[in-house]
Amino acid sequence: MTSWIRIIPSNLQKPPHLDMSTPNHLVPEPKQEGFRETMGDPQGQGKDYEFTLQDGKRIHVRKFDKNYRVHWDWFSPTKDPINHMRNDAPHWWIASCIIGGAGLRGLCCKDRTAGATAGGLLGALEGILSLPSKSK
C-alpha cells in the first residue's frame, strides 16, 4: 500500500484537471491522510475528497467502485470559490453570471421577462469575457 503523500507530487507534474487513476486497494481512504469530504460534478463517483495545499492548489479525489481518480485544481472551492469557478469550473462561473444577470435585470425592469432575458445574455457574455486566459 502507498500513501496519498507519495501520489500528490506526481499528480502535480500533470496538467490541471487531468485525472490519474489509482486502484482503491493500493491507497488508504483519503480521510485517513487529512483529506476532507467535499462535492464535485457528478461523474458516477461515490464520494469526493479534497486536500488544499499551502499554495492554494487543491488535490481533488473522486472515489469510484474500484478506483480513485485524482487531479489538481488551481484553487480550492472551500478557500477561494470565485477563482475556483473561474479557473477550474468555468461552466459554473458562466451559469452564475447568467443567473445573476437575469435576476438583477428581471428585478429592475418593468417587463421582467424581457429584462431577465437581456440580463441573462449580458451575464453570459460577461462570464465568458471574464474567464482567465489559458496561459497560466
Question: Could you state, in order of their start, the residue ranges of all structural domains in the chain?
Answer: 4-76, 89-129
- Residue 38 cell numbers, joined: 467535499
pLDDT in tens, 64-121: 999 999 999 999 999 999 999 999 999 989 998 888 888 877 777 778 788 788 777 8
pTM of the model: 0.81
Under a CB-based contact definition with an 8 Å cutoff, are residues 57 and 72 in contact?
yes
**CA dihedral over 78, 84, 85, 90, signed as positive or negative:** negative
Helix (H, G, I), strand (E, B) or coil at 61: strand
Helix (H) or strand (E) holding 50: strand 47-52
Angle between helices 90-108 and 81-88 (to 10 degrees): 120
Helix (H) or strand (E) holding 67: strand 67-73
